[in-house]
Chains A and B, each alone.
Chain A
Amino acid sequence: MNFTVNGKQVTIEALPGEMLSDLLRERLRLTGTKIGCNEAECGACTVLVDGEPVLSCTYPSAKAEGKSILTIEGLAKVSGDALHPLQQAFIEHGAVQCGYCIPGQIMTAYALLQHNPEPDSQEIRRALKDTLCRCAGYPTIERAILDAAQVARRGGRLRGPQVAEAGGSEKVVGKLRPRPDAVEKVTGAAMFTDDLHFPGMLHARVKRAGVPHAIVKRIDTSRARALPGVAAVLTAADIPGEHYHGLVIYDWPSLVGVGERVRYVGDAVAIVAAETRQIATQALELIEVDYELQPVVSNAVQALSPEAPQLHERGNLLKHIKVRKGDVQQGFEQSEIILEHTFHTPSTDHAFLEPECCIARPLLEASGAEKMRMEIYVGSQIPYADREQVARALGWPVERVRVIGQLMGGGFGGKEDIAGQVHAALLANATGRPVKLLFDRHESLVVHPKRHATQIRVKMGARRDGRLVAVETELFGDTGAYASLGEKVLTRATTHSSGPYEMPHAKADCYAMYTNNPPAGAFRGFGVTQSAFAIESMMDMLAHELNLDPVELRRRNALRVGSITNTGQELRESVGLMECIERVDAEMRRLAGGDPFAPRPAPGNPHKVRAWGFAAAYKNTGLGGGAPDKAGAEVELFANGELEVRTSSAELGQGLVTVLQLIVAEEMNVPPSQVRVLVMDTDLTPDGGPTTASRQTFVTGNAARHAAQALREAIATTLAEKYDLPPQQIRFVEGLAQVNGHSIPLGQVVQLMQAEGRQPRAAYEYWAPKTNPLGQGGDMHFAFSFAVQAAEVEVDRRSGEVRVLRVIAANDVGKAINPLGLQGQVEGGVMMGLGNALTEHFIVEEGRIFTDRLARYRIPSITQTPEIISFVVQHPVAAGPYGAKGVGEIVSIPTTPAITNAIYHATGVRIDRLPVDQEQIATALKSGVAGQVGGD
Chain B
Amino acid sequence: MTIWQHYHLAKSIEDALQALAAAQGPARVIAGGTDLLLDLEQGRHSPVDTLVDVSAIPEMAELEQRADELFIGAAVPLRRVVQSELVGRHAAALQEAAGLIGGPQVRNTATLGGNVGHALPAADGAIALLALGAEAEIASLSGRRRAPMQALYSGPGRSALSHKEEILVGFYLPLRAEGEGSAFRRVMRPQGVAIAILNMGVWVQRRQETIQAARIAIGPAGPIPFRARAAEQLLAGRPYETALLPRVVEAILGEARFRTSPHRSSADYRRHMCGVLLEDTLNAAWERAALQHEMSR
- The interface residues of chain A lying within 8 Å CB-to-CB of B268 are 923
Q: Which residues of A contact B1 (CB under 8 A)?
A: 17, 278, 281-282
A60-B108 contact, Cβ under 8 Å, with A52-B79, A131-B103, A278-B1: no
Q: How far is the CB of A289 from chain B (nearest CB, A)?
A: 19
Interface bits B28-57 vs A (CB < 8 Å: 1, else 0): 001001100110011000000001010110
Q: In the complex, A52 Cα to B78 Cα: how many Å? A: 13
Q: Assess whether B102 is in contact with A54, with CB atoms less than 8 Å apart.
A: no
Contact flag A53-B105 (CB < 8 Å), given A39-B38, A59-B33, A63-B53: yes
Query: Of A39, A802, A841, which is within 8 A of B42 by CB?
Result: A39
Bound-state Cα–Cα, A278 to B190, Å: 35
User: Which residues A848-902 have CB closer than 8 A to chain B?
Assistant: 850-851, 853, 855-856, 858, 864
Does A60 contact B109, Cβ atoms closer than 8 Å?
no
- Kindly provide the distance from the CB of A674 to the nearest chain B CB, expressed in whole angstroms: 41
Contact residues in B for A62 (Cβ distance below 8 Å): 7, 9, 53
Which chain B residue lies CB-closest to A58?
Answer: B37
Cα–Cα distance between A838 and B6 once the two chains are bound (Å): 43
Complex: A839 Cα to B191 Cα, angstroms:
5
For residue B24, CB closer than 8 A to chain A, the reply is: no
Task: Check A799 against B273 for contact (C-beta < 8 Å).
Answer: yes
What is the bound-complex CA distance between A40 and B38, given in angstroms? Answer: 8
Per-residue CB proximity of B187-203 to A under 8 Å, as 1/0? 10111111000000000
| A536 → chain B closest CB, angstroms | 21
Q: Which of the listed residues A63, A65, A926 has the most CB atoms from chain B within 10 Å of its own CB?
A: A63
Pair B4/A926 contact, Cβ less than 8 Å: no
Q: Does A843 contact B (CB under 8 A)?
A: yes
Asked whether A839 and B190 contact (CB < 8 A) given A58-B33, A919-B266, the answer is yes
Contact at B6–A16, with CB atoms within 8 Å? Answer: yes
Given contacts A58-B38, A801-B187, A855-B193, A16 and B276 within 8 Å (CB-CB): no
B251 within 8 A of A: no
Which chain B positions have C-beta within 8 A of A127?
104
Within 8 Å by CB of B192, from A59, A801, A856, A922, lies A856
* B145 interfacial by beta-carbon distance below 8 Å: no
Interface string of B160-192 (1 = CB under 8 A from A): 000000000000000000000000000101111
B5 at the interface (CB under 8 A from A): yes
Does any Cβ of B come within 8 Å of A129's Cβ? Answer: yes
Given contacts A54-B109, A58-B37, contact A856 B193 (CB under 8 A): yes
Given A16-B2, A923-B269; A108-B190 close (CB under 8 Å): no
Distance in angstroms from B33 CB to nearest chain A CB is 6
Whole-angstrom CA separation of A58 from B41 in the bound complex? 10
Are B194 and A855 neighbours in the complex by a CB distance under 8 Å? yes
* A918:B276 contact, CB within 8 angstroms: no
Nearest CB on A from B269, distance (A)? 5
Q: Which residue from B4, B33, B56, B273 sits with its C-beta under 8 Å from A16?
A: B4
Q: How far is the CB of A169 from chain B (nearest CB, A)?
A: 46
Inter-chain contact B38/A55, CB cutoff 8 Å: no
Cβ-defined contact, B7 with A14, below 8 A: yes
For the complex, what is the distance from the CA of A858 to the CA of B272, rounded to whole Å? 25
A104 (CB) vs chain B CBs: closest residue: B105
- Shortest Cβ gap from A50 to chain B (Å): 10
Q: How many Å from the CB of A902 to the closest CB on chain B? A: 16
Judge whether A46 is part of the interface by a CB distance below 8 angstroms: yes
CA distance A838 to B188 in the complex (A): 13
In the complex, the answer to whether A40 meets B106 with C-beta atoms within 8 Å is: yes
Q: Which residues of chain B have C-beta atoms less than 8 A from A65's C-beta? A: 9
Give bound CA distance, A17 to B48, whole Å: 11
CB contacts (< 8 Å) of B233 on chain A: these are: none
B210 proximal to A (CB < 8 A): no
Let me know if B34 and A840 touch, CB within 8 A.
Answer: no
A918 to B192, CA, bound (A): 13
CA distance A108 to B55 in the complex (A): 22
**Which B residues lie within 8 Å of A802 (CB)?**
190
Q: Is B105 in contact with A46, judged by CB distance below 8 angstroms?
A: yes
> B99-120 interface mask toward A, CB cutoff 8 Å, 1 = contact, 0 = none?
0001111101100000000000
Q: Which residues of A contact B276 (CB under 8 A)?
A: 798-799
Chain B hits for A572, CB < 8 A: none
B residues less than 8 Å from A40 (CB atoms): 34, 37-38, 102, 105-106
Q: Which of A52, A54, A798, A864 contacts B190 (CB 8 A)?
A: A864
Does any Cβ of B come within 8 Å of A130's Cβ? yes
Give CA–CA (A840, B194) in the complex, Å: 13
Docked complex: A880-936 residues within 8 A CB-CB of B: 915, 918-919, 922-923, 926
**CB proximity of B260 to chain A, nearest CB, Å:** 11
Q: Contacts of A111 on B, CB cut-off 8 Å?
A: 104
In Å, the complex CA distance between A856 and B41 comes to: 16
Residues of chain B lying within 8 A (CB to CB) of residue A915: 190-191
Which residue on B lies nearest to A855, using beta carbons? B193
Contacts of A918 in B (CB 8 A): 189-190
Structural contact, B53 and A108, CB atoms closer than 8 A: no
**Contact A63–B55 (Cβ < 8 Å):** yes
User: Which residues of chain B are within 8 angstroms of A841 by Cβ–Cβ distance?
Assistant: 191-192, 263
Query: Which residues of the other chain, B, contact A281 by a CB distance below 8 angstroms?
Result: 1
Instruction: Give the shortest distance, in Å, between B262 (CB) and chain A (any CB).
Output: 8
Which residue in A46, A278, A840 is a CB contact (below 8 Å) of B191?
A: A840
**Is B265 close to A, CB under 8 A?**
yes
> Which chain B residues lie closer than 8 Å to A52 at the CB level?
79, 108
Smallest CB-CB separation from A277: which chain B residue? B1
**A919 and B53 within 8 A (CB):** no
A43 at the interface (CB under 8 A from B): yes
Q: Are B105 and A926 in touch, CB under 8 angstroms?
A: no
| Alpha-carbon gap, A851 to B105, bound state (A) | 23
Q: How far is the CA of A281 from the CA of B1 in the complex (A)?
A: 7
A126 in the interface (beta carbon within 8 A)? yes
Pair A55/B9 contact, Cβ less than 8 Å? no
Q: For A130, give its contact among B30, B105, B263 (CB under 8 Å).
A: B105
User: What's the Cα separation between A17 and B103 when bound, in Å?
Assistant: 24
Distance (Å) between the CB of A144 and the closest chain B CB?
Answer: 18
Q: Does B213 contact A (CB under 8 A)?
A: no
Of B7, B104, B263, which is in contact with the most chain A CB atoms at under 10 Å from its CB? B104
In the bound complex, residues from chain A placing their C-beta under 8 Å from that of B194 are 855, 858
Shortest Cβ gap from A120 to chain B (Å): 16
B139 within 8 A of A: no
Q: A17-B3, A65-B9, A850-B263 are in contact. Are A54 and B105 (CB under 8 A)?
A: yes
Closest residue of B by beta carbon distance from A17:
B2
List the A side residues contacting B191 at CB < 8 Å: 838-841, 858, 915
Known pairs A40-B38, A843-B263, A918-B190 / 11 extra A-B pairs, C-beta < 8 Å: A16-B4, A40-B34, A49-B108, A58-B38, A59-B109, A62-B7, A63-B9, A127-B104, A129-B104, A851-B192, A922-B269
Query: Can you list 24 A-B pairs, Cβ within 8 angstroms, ordered by A?
Result: A14-B7, A17-B2, A17-B5, A52-B79, A53-B108, A55-B109, A58-B37, A60-B7, A60-B33, A62-B53, A126-B104, A129-B103, A442-B42, A798-B276, A840-B191, A841-B263, A843-B263, A851-B192, A855-B193, A858-B192, A919-B189, A919-B265, A919-B266, A922-B272
B-contacting residues of A (Cβ < 8 Å)?
14, 16-17, 38-40, 43, 46, 49, 52-55, 58-60, 62-63, 65, 108, 111-112, 126-131, 278, 281-282, 442, 798-799, 801-802, 838-841, 843, 850-851, 853, 855-856, 858, 864, 915, 918-919, 922-923, 926
